[in-house]
Structure 1
Amino acid sequence: MYGLIGRMLAAEGKREDLLRIMLEGNAAMPGCRSYVIARDPASEDGIWITEVWDSQEQHAASLHLPHVQATIARARPLIAGFDQRFETEPMGGVGI
């Protein structure tokens, strides 16, 4: 399995708008076992995204899905950047 944990920064004052877009854009993604979007309680603009995939290739392929591309296009103006990114090798757990 392939895991990815990253922190996205919303443009100042736009976190709730960005979260809404990201949560509306959630649809089936082949190979995705878990996709969690969360507020960062330590940052007014921070959003944590935690993903578990069957493989790194399936994660990469998901970025080309039409609904993912549409979500990215809608969200892009509200994203100030990404400041942390960690790749992991999930071994198992609840829900995966």
Structure 2
Amino acid sequence: MTATYGFQSTLTAKPGKGDELVALLLTGLRPGNPGASEDCLVYLVSRSASDPDVVHITEGWTTEEAHHRLFAGEAAQALVARFAPMLAKDAEYTDYVPLHGKATL
């Protein structure tokens, strides 16, 4: 499959909440969650090297429609509801069209 839609989001946790935010975002990979969907081809959680409370998530999806459908679902909305109170400010998003690359972790 090929990713035709993607985005990166920067989430700034309240002071000292970076580890908790990372752990919660990684639950998005568990079965039944959006990151485990066959339509989600990239789900990468990273942290700022200079600020442990700044977390980046990169996602690549087969289609924009698939992302929006899964994000509107109960599992994704429950995840957002759990991490929203941890944030110090609104998330910043950059959307993009994946072209080519490699990911091995």
Interval containing the TM-score (normalised by the shorter chain):
0.7 to 0.9
1:66 Cα shift?
2.2
Identity of counterpart residues, as a percentage? 28
The TM-score, its normalising length taken from structure 1, stands at 0.84
Moved over 6 A (4+): none
Counterpart of 1:65 in structure 2 is 73
The TM-score, its normalising length taken from structure 2, stands at 0.78
CA distance in 2, matches of 1:51, 1:71: 15
Going from structure 1 to structure 2, the CA distance change for 1:5 and 1:61 (only over 3 Å counts) comes to same
Greater share of strand: 1
Over the residues paired in the alignment, what is the CA RMSD in angstroms?
1.7
Unaligned regions of 5+ residues in structure 2, if any?
Answer: 31-35
**Which of residues 49, 53, 57 is equivalent to 1:49?**
57
Going from structure 1 to structure 2, the CA distance change for 1:10 and 1:20 (only over 3 Å counts) comes to same
- Other structure's SS at 2:89 match: strand
- Other structure's SS at 2:55 match: strand
Is 1:17–2:56 an aligned residue pair? Answer: no
The more displaced of 53-62 and 20-29 is 20-29
CA distance in 2, matches of 1:22, 1:29: 15
Unaligned regions of 5+ residues in structure 1, if any?
Answer: none
CA distance in 1, matches of 2:81, 2:91: 20
CA distance in 1, matches of 2:92, 2:75: 25
Residue type of the partner of 1:73? Answer: A
